[in-house]
C-alpha cells in the first residue's frame, strides 16, 4: 500500500468515527511529501524522527505531531500492514507562560472610535467596529465571529447562533441591547450598500471579508492607538485577546458588585462555549480578586490607598 493511500484510508476511518481530523491530516500529508512515493511498510522511525525535528516548533506542537503519527502507525501495525515502530523519546511538556493581553476599557473605546480615513484597508470602518464590538460583547473567538452569516443573527429575539467545529462549543446566546443597536446600524449600512451575500462581515465592495483582512486592520488600529506590550515582548496584543478581555471585565464587574462567582462562572462558561475549568483561568487574570486583602492592608479613602500606587497597579495587571 502506498503511503498516501494509507493516509486517505486512515482519514476516512477517523471521519467515520465522527472525528474532525483536519490538523492531523495536514501533518500526515506533510510527512508523505517528505518521504515521497515510498510504500507504507518502507517508512520507518528514522523518517518519523527526521520529520519531527525538521523545523523548530513549540513543544506543544511537536507533541501534537508526535501523537498523530504514533496513532497512525499503531493503527496500521494493529492491522498487520507494518511492524510496530520504535518511536523516538517524546519531548516533555513545557509549562505555558504566555499571558493574554487584557485591554482596558479606554483601549477598547480607542480601537472602535478611530475616525474614517485614518486607516486604509478594504474593510469599511463600520464593519471593523461592529466586528470588534461583537467580540468584546460576546466573548466569541475571532474565527467564530468571522464565520457568522446574517441568518445567525435573530434581531427579533436578540439571539445569535455561534457555530464551532467542536460541537460542544456551538451555542445560541442572548445579545445585549447595546450590541443589538450596533448590529442594527451595521445591517442598515449593508442595506444601503445593497449587499447580497449571506456572510455577515463583508468588504467595502460587498464581497465576503477574508479573515486576514481583520487581522491586518486590527494590527493597524493597535499601532495607531499605540496599544502594545513592552518593546521586548515577543507577543503583541492579538485579536483573540478580546475574548479574554470580555471574560475578565465581566468577572471584574461581578467582584465589584459582590455577585456570587460560584453561580456566575458556570454561566460564563456556558455563554462562551467553554468548560468550567477553562473559565476559571480568567478569574486568575483579574486583579480585583485581591481587593479584599489589599483593602485590609490599605483602607480606602486614605492617602496611601493601594489604587493610587502605579507600580502596584502595574504589577497586579501583569498577574
Report residue 101's pLDDT band, with 50, 70 and 90 as the boundaries. Answer: confident
- Does residue 136 carry a pLDDT above 90? yes
How far from 152 is each of 170, 185, 207, CA to CA, in Å? 12, 17, 18
Beta strands in 24-154 (DSSP E): 153-154
State residue 241's pLDDT score: 92
Domain ranges in the chain are 3-78, 105-224, 241-318
**In terms of residues, how long is the chain?**
319
What number is the average pLDDT over the span 277-290?
A: 57
- Mean pLDDT throughout 106-135? 91
Whole-angstrom CA distances from 18 to 4, 8, 11 are: 21, 16, 11
Q: What is the mean pLDDT of the chain?
A: 84
Please give the pLDDT value at position 130: 96
The phi and psi torsions of 21 (rounded to 5 degrees) equal: -125, 30
In this predicted structure, what is the pLDDT of residue 297?
A: 47
- Please compute, for residue 154, the number of CA atoms within 13 A of its CA located in the half-sphere on the CB side: 9
For residue 124 the three cell numbers come to 469599511
Q: In this predicted structure, which of 137-141, 182-186, 263-267 has the lowest mean pLDDT?
A: 263-267
19 or 74, higher pLDDT: 74
- Please work out, in degrees rounded to the nearest 5, the angle formed at the alpha carbon of residue 33 by the alpha carbons of 29 and 38: 105
> What confidence tens digit (pLDDT) does each residue in 204-260 have?
999 999 999 999 999 999 999 999 887 655 678 999 999 989 988 888 888 788 888
In CATH, what class is 105-224? Answer: mainly alpha
pLDDT bucket at 37, cuts 50 / 70 / 90 = confident
Q: Residue 171 and residue 151: Cα distance in Å, rounded?
A: 14
% of the chain at pLDDT higher than 90: 46
Burial class (CB in 10 A: 0-12, 13-18, 19+), 299: exposed
* Of 155 and 23, more confident: 155
Looking at the predicted structure, is the pLDDT value of residue 266 above 90? no
Residue 139 has φ and ψ, to the nearest 5°, of 70, 20
β-bridge pairing 171-174 and 153-154: unpaired
Amino acid at each position: 500500500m502506498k503511503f498516501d493511500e494509507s493516509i486517505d484510508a486512515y482519514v476516512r476511518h477517523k471521519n467515520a468515527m465522527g472525528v474532525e481530523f483536519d490538523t492531523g491530516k495536514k501533518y500526515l500529508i506533510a510527512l508523505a511529501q517528505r518521504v515521497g512515493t515510498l510504500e507504507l511498510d518502507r517508512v520507518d522511525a528514522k523518517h518519523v524522527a527526521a520529520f519531527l525535528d525538521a523545523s523548530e516548533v513549540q513543544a506543544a506542537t511537536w507533541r501534537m505531531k508526535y501523537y498523530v503519527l504514533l496513532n497512525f502507525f499503531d493503527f496500521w501495525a494493529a492491522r498487520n500492514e507494518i511492524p510496530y515502530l520504535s518511536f523516538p523519546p517524546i519531548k516533555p511538556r513545557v509549562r505555558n507562560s504566555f499571558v493574554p493581553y487584557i485591554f482596558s476599557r479606554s483601549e477598547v473605546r480607542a480601537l472602535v472610535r478611530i475616525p474614517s480615513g485614518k486607516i486604509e484597508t478594504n474593510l469599511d470602518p463600520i464593519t471593523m467596529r461592529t466586528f470588534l464590538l461583537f467580540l468584546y460583547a460576546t466573548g466569541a473567538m475571532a474565527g467564530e465571529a468571522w464565520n457568522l452569516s446574517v441568518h445567525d443573527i435573530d434581531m427579533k429575539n436578540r439571539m445569535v447562533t455561534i457555530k464551532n467545529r467542536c460541537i460542544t462549543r456551538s451555542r445560541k446566546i442572548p445579545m445585549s441591547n447595546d450590541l443589538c443597536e450596533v448590529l442594527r446600524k451595521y445591517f442598515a449600512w449593508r442595506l444601503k450598500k445593497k449587499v447580497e451575500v449571506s456572510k455577515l462581515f463583508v468588504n467595502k465592495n460587498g464581497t465576503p471579508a477574508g479573515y486576514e483582512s481583520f487581522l491586518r486592520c486590527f494590527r493597524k488600529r493597535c499601532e495607531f492607538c499605540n496599544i502594545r506590550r513592552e518593546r521586548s515582548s515577543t507577543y503583541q496584543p492579538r485579536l483573540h485577546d478580546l475574548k479574554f478581555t470580555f471574560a475578565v471585565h465581566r468577572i471584574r464587574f461581578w467582584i465589584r458588585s459582590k455577585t456570587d462567582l460560584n453561580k456566575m462562572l458556570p454561566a460564563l462558561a456556558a455563554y462562551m462555549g467553554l468548560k468550567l475549568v477553562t473559565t476559571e483561568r480568567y478569574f486568575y487574570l483579574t486583579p480585583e480578586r485581591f481587593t479584599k486583602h489589599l483593602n485590609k492592608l490599605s483602607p480606602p479613602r486614605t492617602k496611601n490607598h493601594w489604587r493610587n500606587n502605579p507600580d502596584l497597579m502595574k504589577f497586579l495587571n501583569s498577574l
